[in-house]
Every structure is written in structure tokens, then in C-alpha cells.
Amino acid sequence: MPKIKIITYNIRNAQGIDGQVNLSRIAEFLEEIGADIICLQECDKGRRQSGLVHQARKLAKRLSMNYVYGTVNRYFLASAGNALLTRYPIVAHFNHSLPQTKDPRCCLQVSLDVNRQLCTVFNVHLGLNHRLRMLALSETILPMITSLKSPVILAGDLNAAQDSPEVGLLSTYLHDTFAENIGLQQNSFPANKPREKLDYIFTNAACSPVQSCILESQASDHLPVMAEIAIPHLH
């Protein structure tokens, strides 16, 4: 059964703990890890604060990966959003708006051809409002995931702690890969003194988590979470 390595990483537009925006640090870290699928949140496109760079495209080119970028916040000609980079062929992608008040949030859905098996990845960055997070999960994200029989991975920054109702709701339908944690680190935020686990990778029953861990990096204010997942061959 083939295994894939996936990372979720809120890169805060490549602004490190030192306050410096440095996309090369993110790229070097990702090169070293060698993941097959990378889910990024807070990824800039053409914003002055990050040097007018299309961060997802630049990272994908450096890593020789395919990519999809999903806009969340628009700033005239620029934007910020979620991105997915992958070594696998991209079959389809959709950017779903989530329930909001003044703080736009989206979920990027990407279907991949993983060794002739369709695998769908949902990359999400939920907001700071508990009610809206629960609404996004119960009314938008979970109905999409539970309608699929093929392998599904949900990854991202949930802005919710391990013992939260949000993680409890997801765990009713999905498997939290952190149950297979092999590392010492238990929390993913803030990167220099981690106190909370806000970043997650979940799978449905059609694929099997092998191991998971939180990785060390000071290139953002979040730590990246990695999981290795077994994807069954096409029957």
C-alpha cells in the first residue's frame, strides 16, 4: 500500500518568529522534509508586505511541484489565501467560501491522482469565532467529506484546541492522525513557545494514518504538522 507524506503549515506570509519575511526559509524547510502534499495557509499573492510575490507559485516552482491557490482575502490587485502543492497530478479543484461575518474564510478542495487512486484533500483555515467554526464544519466541510467514499484528507489551521468541540465533532467522522504521534512536541502555536495545538491532519476510513509529528521551524508563528498516510491501490 503506497504511503504519502503530507504537511500542513500556516506560513503567515513567510514571516518568521524574528518578524522577517523570508520565503526562502520556508522553501528550504519544505525541501528538506520532502513531502508529497503541502497544505499552506496565509499564503500571499502580490502583496507589498511580502515583496509582491506569488508565494504559492514561487514555492511550487522551486520544489518542482504542481499547485493550486485559493483566494480568501482580496486586497485590490493582491490577495491572501490557502494553497496546495503536490507531486501528484491535480484532477480538479474548488475553493469553497465558509460562513463568515467580517472575516472571510475558505476551504480549498483538491482532487489528486495518487498512483491511479483518486484522493481528495481539503485545506482549511478556520476563523477565530467558535460558532462560525462549528457552522463551517457541520454545514459545509463535513457534508462534502462524508459524501466521498474514496480516500479523503482534511488538513489545516482549525484555530481550535485538541479538546475543543470542533475537534470532537471532526473526530466523530474522521481519524485524527495525531493519534499516531511519534514526536515529543504536542503543540503547534506559537512556534517559539508552543502552548496550543491548532493545526491538524485528519483522514477518512478509506486511508490509514501511519505516523504523525509536529516539526520544528521558526520560519512562521505556527509549527508545521506532518503525517504519513497509506493510500490503498485502486481496486
Q: What would the DSSP string read from start to end of 172-191?
A: HHSEEGGGGB-SS----BSS
Model pTM score? 0.97
Are 216 and 193 contacting, i.e. CB atoms less than 8 angstroms apart?
no
How far apart CA 40 and CA 125 sit, in angstroms, is 9
- pLDDT tens per residue, the chain (235 residues)? 779 999 999 999 999 999 999 999 999 999 999 999 999 999 999 999 999 999 999 999 999 999 999 999 999 899 999 999 999 999 999 999 999 888 999 999 999 999 999 999 999 999 999 999 999 999 999 999 999 999 999 999 999 999 999 999 999 999 999 999 999 999 999 999 999 999 999 999 999 999 999 999 999 999 999 999 999 875 5
Say which DSSP state 225 is in: E
Phi and psi torsions of 159, nearest 5°: 50, 35
Structural domains of the chain sorted by starting position, each given as residue range(s) with its CATH number in brackets: 3-230 (3.60.10.10)
**Nearest of 182, 98, 109 to residue 135 by alpha carbon:** 98
